Structure 1
Amino acid sequence: MSVHIGYAAMLEQFPPAEAVALAALAEQHGFTGTMATDHFQPWTPSLGQAAHVWSVLGALAERTRGDFGPGVTTPTFRTHPAVVAQASATLASMHPGRHWLGIGSGEAVNEHIVGQYWPEAPDRINRMFEAVELIKKLFAASIAGRDVRHSGPSFKLETTRLWTMPPVAPEVYVATAGPVTARRAGRVADGLITTSGPAERLDALLARFADGARDGGRDVRRMPKILQLHLSWAATDEEAMRNALAEWPIAGMRFGRSDIRSPFEFEQLARTVRPEDFEGRMVVSADPDRHRAEIQRHLDLGFDRIYLHNVGRNQAEWIEVFGREVLPGLRA
């Protein structure tokens, strides 16, 4: 079995044309897919970007040949689930077998901008699962050539269908870091997305996802377990740490960030991050072997698709080094 290591296109960090070019470059060096982030605002002002993910995905799909999807989008505040379903179905129609849909419960920095009340996490999670239900219902009815409607606690859909719909619906993956949500995802989603963490937390997450799949009479072995992995590689350890502190201090923030509304608030909090805060949370090193071991650790835990994000601006150099020295040494 081949190893699936994809590229994470960070649209809050790079202008859209550059992000697309980097995804194409990564594919040339052995990366096998692209996960693009969905932000209305960057985490910190210095990151400087926030392109519309669906526009970028269309361009990205034309420049690459691997799988691609938003990792993750939130169809509960800024965008109604039916509109997300339409965007996803359109991409899947244009690029059969390549597009997937990643869904999350959202972060205030992106979602509060439409002026709605920002609810507590349980409410956000319930809204997310209702959105998944609506999207999958709309996909299934549209493939069958039927209209569908929905009336739930958070969303309504008048009688309609998607008039542009591929013969096979895009797979819908749910992003979570919690075991309870992972079990719910196993019952209703087609796969799981999460981020790096201690082995015991990830083991529990995958176990609860498998429990949910069994609850729903589904074969978890056929359901993708996807990881987005942040790292900081540069030519020297010192440069790798400078990049981590300047570009991705959020990896060192040891508190929840879902309720923070402004990039300028993140900027203030970032000033408290120290090099030791990255320990156990993100590998910061010039040694490709350390990064290979960290990627392999997650493959060994049971993840079958990993999308890498090097936090520095040295993307082309990193892609070339990892394509030559890291990816060939990984095993499924």
Structure 2
Amino acid sequence: MTEYGYFLMAEEHEPAALVEQARMAEQAGFTALWISDHYHPWNEAQGQSSFVWSVIGALAQATSLPIQTAVTCPIRRIHPAIVAQAVATSAVLLEGRFRLGVGSGEALNEHVLGDRWPPPAIRLEMLEEAIAVMRQLFGGRKVSHHGKHYTVENARLYTVPEEPVPIDIAAFGSAAAALAGRVGDGFITMVPDAELVARFRRGSGAGGNSKPVRGGLKVCWGPDADEALRTAHRLWASEALPGQLLSLLPTPAHFEQACELVTPERVAQRVICGPDADAHIRALAAYAEAGFDTVYVNQIGPDQRGFFDFYRSKVLPQLAG
């Protein structure tokens, strides 16, 4: 049976607001949390970008829900040995309720130290090595690693959870889905694509059906559908950008320039806007039909309380039934 979680969007809300949204999500009946991991927002209108590991520490004290990053890129901006320490500490604070979501990243966040931004195939190669480094460190033993992309010398994590942290891999194409199947503990993708899910499960071998598949989508609830669409277009026109632009553009200003070409009508094709409960239910059900185990919903814009009231009374009970 598919579960439904809430997606905390750190690009759009300050840390205290994210913590309050987590409380409201639990009260509304959501059963899990995602939180984004960014250095920059996608545009200036979003206006936030807090350090995810600090926020997770606060969330650990505010909610009993499981939490996952969606997603962390451990290949460039932060060395995987340091990510491993942050992950292990988060898992201890959350008493086993933490999963790490990883992906090959976007230049928007990862170019900030001035390093070259590699092509997709190299980023996937780096991601696989980074995952191997982190898993060694999760064991709490001294690790030395001299690989193609990373070096670790005499490193040991002393604060580690009782069980290694599961690592789910995000993918939007066949090569990344194959990597997720081969080395991931689970799969993350943002579209209800049954074939991509099947590719992941085939790549996982005999145990593929037991690995969780998680997905997410944005909505913009509001009593006026036209106003909700204007909010979605103002804040998240990037949802409708095509191809590899999301991973290649380096600054919020570049995204704003690209999004000038995105019409409200194109955003409406990607984001459910307004108060029609059936439309929200259909969008979520598409993920369940494609074989997803958990679907995370993000509400665009400031009216978070209205969204949670709507989902508590109109949407989640229908999905449970």
CA-to-aligned-CA distance 1:57-102 (integer Å, 9 cap, x gap): 1101110101002110111111110111111111112222201111
Aligned residue number for residue 198 of structure 2? 207
Deviation for aligned residue 1:285:
3.4
1:312 to 301, 304, 308: 301
Cα distance in 2 between the residues matched to 1:294 and 1:38? 24
Deviation for aligned residue 1:43:
0.2
Cα distance in 1 between the residues matched to 2:122 and 2:178? 17
Alignment pair present for 1:290 and 2:279: yes
> Matches of residues 25-64 of structure 1 in structure 2 within 5 Å?
25-64=24-63
Cα distance in 2 between the residues matched to 1:259 and 1:164? 36
CA-to-aligned-CA distance 1:240-261 (integer Å, 9 cap, x gap): 2111111111112223221101
Cα distance in 2 between the residues matched to 1:79 and 1:268? 28
Q: What is the TM-score normalised by the length of structure 1?
A: 0.93
CA-to-aligned-CA distance 1:269-309 (integer Å, 9 cap, x gap): 22221122135422233201101111011112110111111
Cα distance in 2 between the residues matched to 1:237 and 1:190? 39
Aligned residue number for residue 6 of structure 1? 5
Which amino acid in the other structure matches residue 187 of structure 1?
R
Aligned residue number for residue 145 of structure 2? 150
Cα distance in 2 between the residues matched to 1:252 and 1:190? 29
Cα distance in 1 between the residues matched to 2:16 and 2:117? 32
- Provide the secondary structure at the position in 1 that maps to 2:5: strand
1:167 to 162, 169, 172: 162
Which amino acid in the other structure matches residue 79 of structure 1?
I
Aligned residue number for residue 233 of structure 1? 221
Aligned residue number for residue 250 of structure 1? 238
Deviates more, 1:282-291 or 1:99-108: 282-291
Stretches (4+) displaced over 4 A: none
- State percent identity of aligned pairs: 37
Cα distance in 1 between the residues matched to 2:94 and 2:221? 33
CA-to-aligned-CA distance 1:220-254 (integer Å, 9 cap, x gap): 23211000111222112111211111111111222
Deviation for aligned residue 1:126:
1.1
- On the 8 A contact 1:253/1:277 being kept in 2, the answer is no
Cα distance in 2 between the residues matched to 1:186 and 1:240? 37
Deviation for aligned residue 1:331:
4.4
Deviation for aligned residue 1:148:
2.2
Cα distance in 1 between the residues matched to 2:233 and 2:270? 13
Change in CA separation of 1:311 and 1:128 when aligned onto 2, cut-off 3 Å: same
Aligned residue number for residue 181 of structure 1? 176
Alignment pair present for 1:260 and 2:260: no
- Provide the secondary structure at the position in 2 that maps to 1:114: coil
Aligned residue number for residue 86 of structure 1? 85
Q: What is the TM-score normalised by the length of structure 2?
A: 0.96
Cα distance in 2 between the residues matched to 1:270 and 1:20? 30
Which amino acid in the other structure matches residue 220 of structure 1?
G
Cα distance in 2 between the residues matched to 1:302 and 1:69? 19
- On the 8 A contact 1:180/1:208 being kept in 2, the answer is no
CA-to-aligned-CA distance 1:144-168 (integer Å, 9 cap, x gap): xx32221111111113321111110
- On the 8 A contact 2:233/2:267 being kept in 1, the answer is no
- On the 8 A contact 1:29/1:319 being kept in 2, the answer is yes
Deviation for aligned residue 1:193:
0.8
Cα distance in 1 between the residues matched to 2:86 and 2:249? 28
- On the 8 A contact 1:296/1:331 being kept in 2, the answer is no
- On the 8 A contact 1:34/1:307 being kept in 2, the answer is yes
- Provide the secondary structure at the position in 2 that maps to 1:261: coil
